[in-house]
Amino acid sequence: MALIPASLRTRLVVGVFSFFAMWGFALSITRYSIPEEMEEGSFVANLATDLGLDIRSLEERKAKLDVIHSKNYLDINKDTGELVIREKIDRESICMTKTTSCFLKMDVILSSPVRIFNIELEIMDINDNAPVFRRKTMHLDISEATLPGERFSLTNAVDADVGANSIKTYYLSESKYFNIDIQTGSDGSKYVDLVLSGNLDREEHAVHDLILTAVDGGVPPRSGTASIIINVLDINDNAPIFSQPVYAVNVSENSAAGTVVMTLNATDLDEGTNAQLVYSHTLYTSEKTQELFSLDPNSGEIKVKGVIDYEESQSFEMHIQAQDRGTNPLSGHCKVTVFVTDLNDNYPEVTIKSLKSSLTEDVSVGTLIAVVSVSDRDSGANGEVELSLNRQETLPFRLSKSSEGYFEMLVSKPLDREVISKYDIILRVTDKGVPPLSENETITLEILDINDNAPTFSQSFYTIHVMENNPPGALLTSLSAFDPDLNENQYLVYFIMEKEIVNTSMSMLFSINPENGDLYALKTFDYERERDFLFHIEARDSGVPPLSTNCTVHIIILDQNDNTPLIVSPWRAQGSVVEEVIPRSTDKGHLVAKVIAIDADSEQNARVTYQLLQISDSTLFSLDQYNGEIRTTRMFSYRDPRQQRLVIVAKDNGQPSLSATVTIKISTVEHAMAFSETTELPLDYDMFTDLNLYLVIGLGAVSFLLLITILVIIVLKCQKPKPKAIKIPPANRNSVISRNSVISQRSSTIADSTLISSDAYWYSLFLAETRKGKVVVRQPIIPKGAGYFVSSIPRSIGPSETTDSRASTLEQGPRRELP
């Protein structure tokens, strides 16, 4: 191949055209033109400058060159940003067809972010190929009867170059009998016919040797030659004639082999063997055309022989001659042009250029997921394509056309992993042919979790009933919350929200397993001291930042029959017998004594009834089972013993019931002088006066302290801030109100019937009687620390702080704490 002249190199121009822009990256088409056969390492263009890129970004963003449907003849110098020749380019090996333009298409791809630049490199032809005849020697037989002007087809020369470098003209060596006629085909190629210019005389000149020269239009021009040997034959003076010189016919692509395209019809006026015609392709018919179509030499029928593809060639030309069988055969010529009709026989193609396989669920709307390119090799409506997403479900994605054949897939709606964690996105590309053809491509997109869901309890308010005297460490219940997030975002930790009750932290009373929410009691509860607890439990996940929620827990302590009734009247020493003295003249129904017992339990466990366990004479005394009054049922007779013994049992209504007994010894006397349980203390007047003085001072001091206490309580109640209302679910509100109603009713009943505080008892014990300067004082022995209180104030519906909030209408000291 000849070197490129310097004058030609100076005329080469590099053109750059920018077409389209895409979101997130720019897509453009840049065109360059270079001559073929440039040396390796030759400079083509400065990509960094032309594409507006920093030279350093070529290396940092991993620039690479992707050549489409061809060998990679070029390379990018990342140090200089130049596009250089990697290997010599032969235009004729790249572009097989005789087209004036020849392009190499390639993409320059950058990452982080992704950018794609389309490059089209036009390979310009140089005159590096000389014309070549397919047949170096051509033999022609011409009858001497041939008239001047007769034309003979010659084998034309071919030149691999195109444009101005292709064949420009033909020259024939000097002859007085022949000249040539040059014709131009539809594709611009030159054909030459040998024309008889004079009458032939075989006897004078039987053989004519001519030289045919083909010259191209290059600078400098190149040429090729062929030898023409003409034999002059004897007369066969009528040549075959076709009905028309040019035929045009249509055939569909993919037509089956054997399909008849057309039948040629030529006539010869001669007779006999000179009129018998043989059809054949001339040398002007390409070998590829002859491979696709067959010609019957006898009938002139043209049939499909190979596979016709519109995308490879849209038309074919066949140059056909009809030659007679005369001694000196004559021939007629015609041209048949076959136009191929396109069918929708190519499926559209979809290609994923750039894809994100996973996204976090908090990505913003408009985030780029993938770049998709579509194409179809068909033409017209058959080559027009549409891209769509699968329509079976509504997807939070959309397609946006960025340029011709390119689409962006973007996020169109907010994503929620808890609703859908993975998407199988089907891209469907369909052409507009009849019938339409389509192709699918599936993209799998995984949605990654973020901590966007707080834990939730199954209910916001829990009511837990706990029987008193529970063992420490007993499991009360299991509180579980649910978090729909994943991994560490759903790992929950449970806490008791700290709250102090009379300087006692909730964490000292209850414990919760931080992993599974099991709630435990850390101490043994006593219903007589603590009735209920109200606190909050928090569930917190392990996300960043963590999310939490809480629920309200209401612990209600249930009473257990764990307190034995205590007989407070009549008082007696431990294990001693109470003695009562009554006159024998007592009437029927006389009140002998009254047994009073109290029970620290509540409700049925505190309901005390009285029964006679043992009695000396059942006909003499009766016992009221509810108020404990012992009365005579008849008058004493002289036969009745002077001493009667009664064993009274006080029993509560619990399950199982608990009881206490008292033994009363009743002695009868003729006159009511004194009582066995009393002690007569003859006192002087001065001593009696001192005792009364002490009693008055004591009662006054107690009354004064009681008044001061009441005033202080009133002041504190007026100044105490109103407690915040705690919302209780309707399901629990009725139970709480009902429970407090029962407590209030029970307290009132106890205060009004069987329960008497020690203050009232002490008051009754210290009554004094004067009898002729003497005082009789009842001096019972009271057990140490036997202090009790009775509550008749209904509890508040809202959460109580501690059991110390209970008020007592009757209180005396010292107080005995119930076990």
| DSSP states of 153-182 | E-PPEE-S--GGGSEEEEEE---SSEEEEE
> Between 253 and 322, whose confidence is greater?
322
Q: Is the per-residue pLDDT at 732 higher than 90?
A: no
- Which of 115-124, 283-292, 366-375, 726-735 is the least confident region? 726-735
Residue 319 tokens, joined: 């140059």
DSSP state of 451: S
> In this predicted model, what pLDDT tens digit does every residue of 543-564 receive, in sequence order?
888 999 999 999 999 888 888 8
- Of 120-124, 186-190, 362-366, which one has max mean pLDDT? 362-366
Q: How, if at all, do strands 492-496 and 532-541 pair?
A: antiparallel
565 prior amide bond cis, ω within 30 = no
Q: How, if at all, do strands 260-263 and 178-184 pair?
A: unpaired
Q: Is the per-residue pLDDT at 790 higher than 60?
A: no
As a whole number of Å, the end-to-end CA separation of the chain is 118
pTM equals: 0.43
> In this predicted model, what pLDDT tens digit does every residue of 27-61 receive, in sequence order?
457 888 888 878 887 888 888 788 888 888 888 78
Q: Is the per-residue pLDDT at 376 higher than 90?
A: no
Residue 496 sits at the vertex; the CA angle it makes with 492 and 502, to the nearest 5 degrees, is: 175
The dihedrals phi and psi of 185, each to the nearest 5 degrees, come to -80, 175
Q: In what order do the strands lie in the sheet with 293-295?
A: 260-263, 301-304, 293-295
Q: Which pLDDT does position 721 carry in this prediction?
A: 53
All residues at 6 or more sequence positions from 718 whose CB lies less than 8 Å from its CB, including other chains: none
| C-alpha 227: how far from chain center | 80
Q: Which pLDDT does position 316 carry in this prediction?
A: 93
DSSP state of 724: P
- Which of 80-84, 573-577, 721-725 is the least confident region? 721-725
Percentage of the residues of the chain whose pLDDT score is greater than 90 = 16
> What's the Cα-to-Cα distance from 618 to each of 56, 534, 647, rounded to whole Å?
120, 54, 12
Strands (E), 618-757: 621-623, 629-632, 643-652, 659-669, 679-681
Report the residue count for the chain.
819
Q: Which pLDDT does position 332 carry in this prediction?
A: 92
605: three-class secondary structure by DSSP = helix
- Which of 99-113, 150-164, 689-703, 790-804 is the least confident region? 790-804
Q: Which pLDDT does position 551 carry in this prediction?
A: 94
d(CA 404, CA 389): 18
